[in-house]
Structures are given as structure tokens and as C-alpha cells.
Amino acid sequence: MPARILLADDDRSIRTVIGRALSQLGHHVRSTSNAEDLWTWVAKGDGDLVITDVVMPGESGLDLILRIKKARPNLPVIVMSAKTTFLTAIEANQRGAYEYLPKPFDLNELIQIVNQAVAEPKTSVAVNKHPVDSEDDLPLIGRSPAMQNVYRILARLTNTDLTVLISGESGTGKELFARTLHDYGKRQGAVFVPVNMAAIPRDLIESELFGHEKGAFTGAISRSVGRFQQANGGTLFLDEIGDMPLEAQTRLLRVLQEGEYTRVGGETPSRTNVRIISATHQNLQELIQDGLFRQDLFYRLNVVPLRLPPLRERIEDIPLLLRYFFKRAAQEGNSPKTLDISATEKLESYDWPGNVRELENLVRRITALYTEELISADIVETELSNGLEKPQNVVSHSKEGLTGSLNKHLKNYFLAHKGSLPATGLYERIIQEVERPLINQTLIATRGNQIKAAELLGINRNTLRKKIKLLDIQIPRGSR
């Protein structure tokens, strides 16, 4: 369907490229270099679609969107911008832009968006009222293409209640992004409740999430409110979701499917009203293959995937982040510092296994330990190797061996109960946790061949079959 397209950009070559491509598709394109023309056309009722740059002589494209949406709420406006921060993306979105494209953009993508906008124009979205702070107060630093992409997805998500799964290496900002999404989203006035699956003893997770009745299990001295209830009306952030035990996964899945939860030991269900954002540094696909994560739950949580790029994939952002963290250190009363060029270069060629957190800690260390104002490459080098912290959540099993890691795990497990004891039936539960990966990995090694697996394990075939059923193990592919 041919459409009348109004195009405004002060860059002539961009007007030519877009104009040509859209005309070839049969659209009628009218273009200008300034905001004034664009407004005149829109006010006259011309055009079925607007494509505009943010920075233009006359008026800011962002202010113009607001006027356009007021005058013609159903006219889709696609906004382009070269100078993008999270702020631009959010602002464009809050003013009702149909789509927001960071420059340089992919022409094919633009065409696709145009076709989509022409075919099914979105009715105007509710404009979000969060006051947008000045750029200095922005929580998210970085302007690399990889981050612009993230901002764009984030901006679009603020008008929705969609379930989001954030993935990314340790220290890439998963929690920060989850909070930002909440702070700028529809539920901004309500609570944000984080729960870290890796920090809660496994058999307490269900009661932590859903609450429990008095006497539901040993140690349940009084009735408790779960996180689902606490987060009511707001956002529930399920951090390190890959660490959730299978039984709790099954329960969570049911809750998400039915929109209702019941306290542990309770009977009357309550309706849930939470937005779910989850995060993981693990590869969930691998966990699914290893039988440690439910695929159906994955699909429920992964409605919108948001991948945070590791720092080494966006070295352009390193100087910005350094400046930001040094400035913050100075504001906290430390003497101001700058890095010399070779020091910055050293940091740009570094691998950053701990990502932004590692960089933040490096800045902290340097501010605390050195008096000089100009920081050299040598200092940076010393401190980089001093800080060789293992990224969090990555446990090295190789050295301590299986018994060693089990010992450590169990010790922490008892400690985590803080004086009280875990629920009874511990032997069976722990043995099952050892059995599950043992059987699962053996099945993977024998490509699902149960006869071979039984042989390898040195147990009876029927016993293996029973265990598989009991432990709810999925037979890996290639099985017979």
C-alpha cells in the first residue's frame, strides 16, 4: 500500500538515501531539512507517516513529536538520532514515537518499520509521565552501538508489562537495568522487590517467594508474607534464576500460568499482580539441555530477551565509564584524578572478565591508594593484576574436588539457616541433588542410551528407569 511519507533530516545524503529507497517501494516521499516545513505539512493534514531526525534546525525533533502527537495522535512518527543516550530513547518513546532508531541505521530495518507502521499504525500510546532527569543524573552510562540497541529495547518496554529476561556476564549491569526498567516503567510508583535465587537456601525458596502458613514446616514458627505478595502492584526481580531448584521452578511455572499462588501449607490462592523481570549470568539453554532448567518456564520468562553486552564488546564506553566513576569518587570527597593516555589505552585493550563492576572497583582502588593526580599505565597495570577477582558467582570446582565443593556447599547451607535447622528429610533431598546431575550427565555421555548408562553407573536398568522417573529427568536427544 503506497503511503505519503514526510521526511525531515538536515543531512542531505540521508534524505537522498531514504527518499530513494522508499520511492522505489512505491511510497510518495516529501522531504525537508527543517522542522518548520515538517510542522506545516503535518498541520495541513498531509502525510501518513513521519520520519524525523532528533537534531534539526528550528526545533528539536523531540519537541516536535509532542506537538505532532497532539495535533494528529494517530500519525506514526519514526525518530532517528545520531547522538543517543538512554535519555533520547526514553524521551522519544514517552512522547509517543512509533519507533526509535539510533544512527547509523540499517536501511532494511527502516523499510521494515515503515511497512509495518503503514500496515498497522499503532494507536497512540499512553504517554508516560516520569520526569526525565538531566543527562548527568542518568543511571546508565555508555553510547556504544551495542548499548544503544539495549536502550532502544528498554525504552519500548517502559510502556508495557511484558516479562523480561536479562542475560549477561557478571557485572554487566543486569540488576541496574532491571531497576531502571522499573523506575521508568508503568509501575514506577510501586515497589521493586529483588530476590536472589543463589542467596537463598534451596528448600526455603518456595516459602520465600510465596510465603508460608504457621507450622507449614519445621521452623515455620509464624505465618510469613512471600515476595510475590510484597511485590504486589510492582515488579518482582528474580535474580540468578538459573540457580532456582527444579521443584521451585515447577511451582513458579504453575503460578505464572494460573496467575495465582498459594502460601506453603496454605489453601486459599491469591491472585498475582507483579511484573516479572528475571536475570541470569548462566546459559539457560545449556541448563535446559542438562536437565537443570525447565524449558517451559524458560519460554514463560523469556518473553522479551535483553542481552547485556560484556564490556570488551563495547570498549568505546570505557572512557565514559572511567570519567563517570572518577567523578563520583571525587564527589565523595576524594582528590580528583585523571588517567593518562597510555593508561586509558591499557584499559581499552584489557579483557574485563568482571565487566563494569571490575572497572568500578579498579577506580575505587586507585582513588584510595594513590595520591598522584595523573594516573599512569604502570599504576593501572599493577592494580589490574591486584584486582584479579574472580567474577562473582563463578565457583571453581576443579581444585577442591567434588567432596570439597559439597562440603563448602553444605556448610553454607547450614549457615544460611541462621541458628535454626533446615526442614527434616535432609538426607533424601541432598542425595537426590547429587543423583540428579550424576544420572543426567551419564545419560548425556551415552547419548540417552539407558542400557549403557545403567552399565556405566553399575546399577540395574530398572533402578535407573525408576530414578529417571522419580527425579523427573529428561532423556537427552539421540535417545532410543
Ligand X SMILES: Nc1ncnc2c1ncn2[C@@H]1O[C@H](COP(=O)(O)OP(=O)(O)OP(=O)(O)O)[C@@H](O)[C@H]1O
Q: Which residue is nearest to Mg ion (CB)?
A: 175
User: For residues 22 and 89, which CB has a smaller minimum distance to ligand X in the complex?
Assistant: 89
User: For residues 171 and 291, which CB has a smaller minimum distance to ligand X in the complex?
Assistant: 171
Q: Which position among 175, 290, 340, 348 is part of the footprint of ligand X (CB under 6 A)?
A: 175
Binding region for ligand X (CB under 6 A) out of 45-53, 246-254, 355-363, 405-413: 355-363
Q: How many CB atoms lie within 10 A of CB 218?
A: 12
Q: Which residue is nearest to ligand X (CB)?
A: 173
Distance CA 233, CA 297 (A): 22
Rule CB under 6 A: is residue 281 a binding residue for ligand X?
A: yes
Distance CA 44, CA 72 (A): 10
Rule CB under 6 A: is residue 284 a binding residue for ligand X?
A: no
User: For residues 142 and 422, which CB has a smaller minimum distance to ligand X in the complex?
Assistant: 142
Taking alpha carbons only, the member of 272, 178, 258 closest to residue 229 is 272
| Integer angstrom CA distances of residue 124 from 70, 77, 242, 340 | 10, 10, 38, 50
- Smallest gap from residue 271 Cβ to Mg ion (A): 29
Binding region for ligand X (CB under 6 A) out of 4-12, 88-96, 113-121, 169-177: 169-177
User: For residues 175 and 433, which CB has a smaller minimum distance to Mg ion in the complex?
Assistant: 175
One-letter-per-residue 3-state SS of 225-264: ECHHHHCCCCEEEEECHHHCCHHHHHHHHHHHHHCEECCE
Rule CB under 6 A: is residue 172 a binding residue for ligand X?
A: yes
Binding region for ligand X (CB under 6 A) out of 258-266, 268-276, 356-364, 466-474: 356-364
Residue 245 binds which one of ligand X, Mg ion, none, with CB within 5 to 8 A depending on kind? Answer: none
**The three cell numbers locating residue 96:** 509517543
| Contacting positions for Mg ion (CB under 5 A) | 174-175
CA 217 to chain centre: 35
User: For residues 281 and 337, which CB has a smaller minimum distance to ligand X in the complex?
Assistant: 281
Rule CB under 6 A: is residue 182 a binding residue for ligand X?
A: no
Rule CB under 6 A: is residue 356 a binding residue for ligand X?
A: yes
Binding region for ligand X (CB under 6 A) out of 36-44, 70-78, 173-181, 422-430: 173-181
| Integer angstrom CA distances of residue 165 from 91, 235, 479 | 23, 13, 31
Rule CB under 6 A: is residue 392 a binding residue for ligand X?
A: yes
CB 265, CB 217: distance < 8 Å: yes
Residue 141 binds which one of ligand X, Mg ion, none, with CB within 5 to 8 A depending on kind? Answer: ligand X
**Per-residue binding letters, 134-153, with ligand X (x by CB under 6 A):** ------xxx-----------
| Count of residues touching ligand X (by CB under 6 A) | 17
161-164's contacts with Cβ under 8 Å and 24+ in sequence apart are 161/186, 161/187, 161/275, 162/303, 162/304, 163/275, 163/276, 163/277, 163/278, 163/300, 163/301, 163/302, 163/303, 163/304, 164/276, 164/277, 164/278, 164/303, 164/304, 164/305, 164/306
| Binding region for ligand X (CB under 6 A) | 140-142, 168, 170-176, 281, 356-357, 360, 392-393
